[in-house]
Amino acid sequence: MKTLLLQTKISVDKVLTLLTEHIESQKKLEGQGGDPSDMMGGERTKIVLYDAHDVREILRIERSTYYRWLKSGLLKPIQIKGKHYYTSRFIEDLKRAQGK
């Protein structure tokens, strides 16, 4: 399975901002709130991002379902240079919510 380990030319600050926003939105979905660093145990963690193709394979959904979920707001990607990426935590939570 392909993964992206933040090998991009955008600034680290921009990536951290995007990840923080993604984590905060995930916490809101779960009804928690609080500090995003709590979610990662307050330590430095290797962040793995999955692209849209990986997500479709992991969730075992068709392309049309992916875009329908995207349009409905169920999927909230981190967008880097027009491409969609998701943290492994977000995918795990989504799988759990979907009962897969």
The domain in which residue 32 lies consists of 12-98
pLDDT at 90 over 70: yes
pTM of the model: 0.56
Please indicate, yes or no, if residue 33 is contained in any of the structural domains.
yes
**What number of residues does the chain have?**
100
In the prediction, which pLDDT does 5 show?
A: 46
Please indicate, yes or no, if residue 75 is contained in any of the structural domains.
yes
Q: How sure is the predictor about 7, in pLDDT bands with cuts at 50, 70 and 90?
A: very low
Please indicate, yes or no, if residue 3 is contained in any of the structural domains.
no
Please indicate, yes or no, if residue 51 is contained in any of the structural domains.
yes
The CATH number that applies at residue 60 is 1.10.1660
The string of pLDDT tens digits covering residues 8-33 is 445 666 677 777 777 777 777 666 55
Q: CA dist 88 to 73, 81, Å?
A: 18, 20
Q: How sure is the predictor about 54, in pLDDT bands with cuts at 50, 70 and 90?
A: very high
Q: At what angle do helices 63-72 and 52-59 cross, to 10 degrees?
A: 100
**Total domain count, the chain:** 1
Largest CA distance in the chain: 38
Whether residue 70 contacts residue 79, with contact meaning beta carbons closer than 8 Å, is answered with no
φ, ψ for residue 84, nearest 5 deg: -95, 135
